[in-house]
């Protein structure tokens, strides 16, 4: 199976969609890392390197958007959602401007950069701002669709991308991406795992393994965290009875919180969760970090087996 990072999918999408749509791309001295470098070379008149000045970049993006432009503002997720939070909130979202904030290197599974650069609260920060929408694609194919969806969605959008190559699995001919509508990858009668980003593939692996044991596990790819697909959550609750969420994000404010809010509306509860349990990341290679923080198919399997007891 081919492997490619979602940040690479983002970079390829910017180039491939540039003839179809007109937009500007801003970066904060990280073009090679955020993969905007190819766009900068092919469309230099539509690219601006703002230097190590993320807050200034968001203000500039807001200014361009206020004149009618569509703008992508790219940097690491920790800087986009953290360092530039005030500008994203007050300059972009308060004015409901057409800026797409692209945060790469999201989550703990970015490796050796360590806790200072591992954004585990970015989805929480972004989804709590009025007017902001949040997309977290699960592979490089979905990243391209997410970019195009963001272009066609009026107003601010936060896109979260990962650093490392991950399996590309959204390759079916009938694959489609609809903003605000989850993709049901598998239906299950015992448990449904609702996942985002890298954890979607881990959920699929877990589902296939548990199928051999006679346990029916559904998998829902919640690529749009805000606005979240309430209907998909309701169906999962009714069809399987048990819901587990899976995310490379702090347990507070991310996918678990978003799904729990909806489940509570329907009078239900989430049975379990896979998330970063409210602690900072640390430097390490990706496989070791997955094990340390339980962000694995094996941990999903263990939790489901425990539920079935």
Positions annotated as catalytic residues are 54
Cβ contact 142:224 at 8 Å: no
Q: Do strands 133-135 and 71-76 pair parallel, antiparallel, or not at all (unpaired)?
A: unpaired
Strand partners, 274: 246
Q: Do strands 24-27 and 71-76 pair parallel, antiparallel, or not at all (unpaired)?
A: parallel
Sheet of strand 243-250: strand arrangement = 183-186, 217-221, 191-195, 243-250, 272-276
Q: Exposed, middle or buried by CB within 10 Å (0-12, 13-18, 19+), for 168?
A: buried
Angstrom distances, CA of residue 263 to CA of 226, 237, 266: 15, 8, 5
Of 257, 258, 246, 255, the C-alpha closest to 299 is 246
Helix axes 140-152, 6-16, angle to 10 degrees: 50
Collapsing DSSP states into helix, strand and coil, what is residue 228? coil
Q: In the chain, where does DSSP find H-type helix?
A: 6-16, 31-34, 37-42, 54-66, 77, 85-87, 122-127, 140-152, 199-211, 230-240, 255-265, 286-293, 297-308
* Dihedral over alpha carbons 154, 120, 259, 125 (to 10 degrees): -40
Of 253, 190, 198, 252, the C-alpha closest to 222 is 198
Contacts of 288 (CB under 8 A, 6+ apart): none
């Amino acid at each position: 199976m081919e492997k490619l990072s979602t940040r690479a999918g983002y970079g390829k999408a910017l180039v491939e969609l540039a003839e179809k749509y007109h937009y500007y791309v801003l970066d904060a001295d990280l073009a090679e890392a955020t993969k905007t470098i190819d766009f900068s070379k092919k469309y230099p008149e539509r690219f601006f390197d703002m230097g190590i000045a993320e807050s200034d970049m968001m203000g500039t993006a807001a200014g361009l958007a206020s004149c009618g432009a569509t703008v992508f503002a790219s940097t690491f997720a920790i800087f986009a959602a953290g360092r530039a939070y005030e500008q994203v909130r007050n300059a972009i979202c308060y004015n409901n401007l057409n800026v797409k904030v692209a945060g790469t290197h999201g989550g703990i599974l970015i490796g050796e950069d360590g806790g200072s650069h591992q954004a585990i609260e970015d989805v929480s920060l972004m989804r709590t701002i009025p007017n902001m929408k949040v997309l977290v694609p699960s592979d490089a194919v979905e990243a391209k669709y997410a970019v195009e969806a963001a272009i066609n969605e009026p107003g601010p959008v936060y896109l979260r991308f990962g650093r490392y190559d991950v399996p590309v699995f959204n390759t079916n001919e009938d694959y489609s991406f609809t903003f605000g509508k989850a993709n049901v990858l598998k239906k299950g009668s015992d448990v449904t795992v609702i996942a985002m980003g890298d954890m979607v593939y881990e959920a699929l692996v877990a589902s296939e393994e548990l199928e051999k044991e006679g346990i029916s596990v559904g998998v829902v790819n919640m690529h749009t965290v805000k606005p979240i697909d309430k209907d998909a959550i309701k169906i999962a609750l009714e069809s399987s009875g048990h819901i587990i969420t899976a995310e490379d994000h702090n347990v507070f404010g991310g996918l678990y919180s978003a799904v729990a809010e909806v489940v509570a509306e329907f009078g239900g509860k989430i049975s379990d969760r896979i998330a970063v349990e409210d602690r900072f990341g640390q430097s390490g290679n990706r496989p070791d970090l997955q094990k340390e923080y339980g962000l694995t198919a094996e941990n999903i399997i263990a939790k489901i087996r425990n539920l079935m007891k």
